[in-house]
A and B are shown apart, each in its own frame.
Chain A
Amino acid sequence: MLKDITLGQYYPSDSILHKLDPRVKFIGTLVFIIALFLVRGPVGYAFATAVLAALILLSRVPVKFMLKGMKAILLILIVTMLFNMLLTPGEPLFSFWILTVTKEGLVTAVRMALRLIYLVIGSSIMTLTTTPNQLTDGMEALFSPLKKLHVPVHEIAMMMSIALRFIPILMEETDKIMKAQIARGADFESGNFIRRIKNMIPLLVPLFVSAFRRANDLAMAMEARCYHGGEGRTQMKPLIYAGRDRTAYFLIVLFLAGAVVLGILGL
Chain B
Amino acid sequence: MLIELKDVSYLYSRDTVYEVRALDHVNLAVEEGRFIGVIGHTGSGKSTLIQHMNGLMKPTEGHVFFEGEDIWAEKYDLRKLRTSVGLVFQYPENQLFETDVLTDVMFGPKNKGLSETEARERAVSALKDVGVGEKHFKTSPFELSGGQKRRVAIAGVLAMDPKVLILDEPTAGLDPRGRDEILGRIQRLREERGITVILVSHSMEDVAEYADRLIVVNNGKIPYDGSPREVFSRYEELEGMGLAAPEITYVMHELRRRGFPVDVTADTVAEAKESILKELKGGRKRA
The A-contacting residues of B in range 19-78, CB under 8 angstroms, are: 51, 54, 56
| A25-33, A117-125, A182-190 - the one binding chain B | A182-190
Query: Distance (Å) between the CB of B170 and the closest chain A CB?
Result: 13
| B86-94, B261-269, B270-278 - the one binding chain A | B86-94
The A-contacting residues of B in range 86-118, CB under 8 angstroms, are: 86-87, 89, 92, 94-97, 107-108, 111-112
Contact check, A184 vs B94: say whether CB atoms are below 8 A apart. no
Q: Is B260's CB within 8 Å of the partner chain A?
A: no
Q: Is A236's CB within 8 Å of the partner chain B?
A: no
Contact check, A180 vs B13: say whether CB atoms are below 8 A apart. no
Which partner residue on chain B sits nearest A65 by CB separation?
B16
Query: Distance (Å) between the CB of B40 and the closest chain A CB?
Result: 19
A3, A185, A201: the one contacting B111 at CB < 8 Å is A185
Contact check, B157 vs A210: say whether CB atoms are below 8 A apart. no
Contact check, A177 vs B95: say whether CB atoms are below 8 A apart. yes
Which partner residue on chain A sits nearest B12 by CB separation?
A3
**A185 with B79: in contact, given A176-B89, A209-B142 (CB under 8 Å)?**
yes
| Contact flags A193-224 to B (C-beta < 8 A → 1, else 0) | 00000000110011001100000000000000
Q: Is A244's CB within 8 Å of the partner chain B?
A: no
* Residues of A within 8 A of B (CB-CB), count: 22
**A184 with B107: in contact, given A176-B89, A179-B51 (CB under 8 Å)?**
yes
B87, B92, B97, B160: the one contacting A202 at CB < 8 Å is B97
**A180 with B111: in contact, given A3-B12, A187-B79 (CB under 8 Å)?**
no
Contact check, B97 vs A182: say whether CB atoms are below 8 A apart. no
Q: Is A12's CB within 8 Å of the partner chain B?
A: yes
Contact check, B87 vs A177: say whether CB atoms are below 8 A apart. no
Query: Distance (Å) between the CB of A67 and the closest chain B CB?
Result: 15
Contact check, B111 vs A184: say whether CB atoms are below 8 A apart. yes
Please give, as numbers and ranges, the residues of chain A lying within 8 Å of B51 by CB-CB distance: 179
Query: Distance (Å) between the CB of B57 and the closest chain A CB?
Result: 9
Contact check, B89 vs A202: say whether CB atoms are below 8 A apart. no
Which partner residue on chain B sits nearest A209 by CB separation?
B142
Q: Is A144's CB within 8 Å of the partner chain B?
A: no
B12, B56, B79, B95: the one contacting A206 at CB < 8 Å is B95
Contact check, A176 vs B56: say whether CB atoms are below 8 A apart. no
- What interface size band does chain B fall in? 20 to 34
**A185 with B108: in contact, given A12-B17, A209-B142 (CB under 8 Å)?**
yes
A181 and B97 CA atoms in complex are apart in Å by 10
Contact check, A3 vs B13: say whether CB atoms are below 8 A apart. yes
A222 and B215 CA atoms in complex are apart in Å by 41
A187 and B108 CA atoms in complex are apart in Å by 11
Which partner residue on chain B sits nearest A183 by CB separation?
B87
Contact check, A183 vs B107: say whether CB atoms are below 8 A apart. no
| Contact flags B122-145 to A (C-beta < 8 A → 1, else 0) | 000000000000000000001000
Please give, as numbers and ranges, the residues of chain A lying within 8 Å of B12 by CB-CB distance: 3
Please give, as numbers and ranges, the residues of chain A lying within 8 Å of B92 by CB-CB distance: 180
Query: Distance (Å) between the CB of A132 and the closest chain B CB?
Result: 16
Which partner residue on chain B sits nearest A179 by CB separation?
B56
Contact check, B13 vs A186: say whether CB atoms are below 8 A apart. no
Please give, as numbers and ranges, the residues of chain A lying within 8 Å of B97 by CB-CB distance: 201-202, 205-206
Please give, as numbers and ranges, the residues of chain B lying within 8 Å of A173 by CB-CB distance: 94
A4 and B18 CA atoms in complex are apart in Å by 11
Which partner residue on chain A sits nearest B14 by CB separation?
A4
Query: Distance (Å) between the CB of A12 and the closest chain B CB?
Result: 7
**A180 with B160: in contact, given A187-B79, A210-B94 (CB under 8 Å)?**
no
Please give, as numbers and ranges, the residues of chain B lying within 8 Å of A202 by CB-CB distance: 95, 97, 107
Contact check, B108 vs A184: say whether CB atoms are below 8 A apart. yes
A201 and B87 CA atoms in complex are apart in Å by 20
Query: Distance (Å) between the CB of A86 and the closest chain B CB?
Result: 40
Please give, as numbers and ranges, the residues of chain B lying within 8 Å of A205 by CB-CB distance: 97
Which partner residue on chain A sits nearest B153 by CB separation?
A180
**A185 with B94: in contact, given A3-B12, A176-B89 (CB under 8 Å)?**
no
| Contact flags A1-27 to B (C-beta < 8 A → 1, else 0) | 001100000011000000000000000
A176 and B153 CA atoms in complex are apart in Å by 14
Contact check, A185 vs B17: say whether CB atoms are below 8 A apart. no
A14 and B95 CA atoms in complex are apart in Å by 41
| Contact flags B149-174 to A (C-beta < 8 A → 1, else 0) | 00000001100100000000000000
A180 and B47 CA atoms in complex are apart in Å by 13
Please give, as numbers and ranges, the residues of chain B lying within 8 Å of A183 by CB-CB distance: 54, 56, 82, 86-87, 89, 157
* B contact residues vs A (CB 8 Å cutoff): 12-13, 17, 51, 54, 56, 79, 82-83, 86-87, 89, 92, 94-97, 107-108, 111-112, 142, 156-157, 160
Q: Which are the 10 A-B pairs with shortest beta-carbon distances? A: A185-B111, A205-B97, A180-B95, A184-B108, A183-B87, A180-B89, A202-B97, A206-B97, A179-B56, A185-B108
| Supplied contacts A184-B111, A202-B107, 9 more A-B pairs, CB within 8 Å | A176-B94, A177-B94, A179-B89, A180-B95, A181-B95, A183-B82, A184-B160, A185-B111, A206-B94
List 8 A-B residue pairs with CB atoms under 8 Å apart, sorted by A's residue number. A3-B12, A11-B17, A180-B92, A185-B79, A185-B83, A185-B107, A201-B97, A202-B95
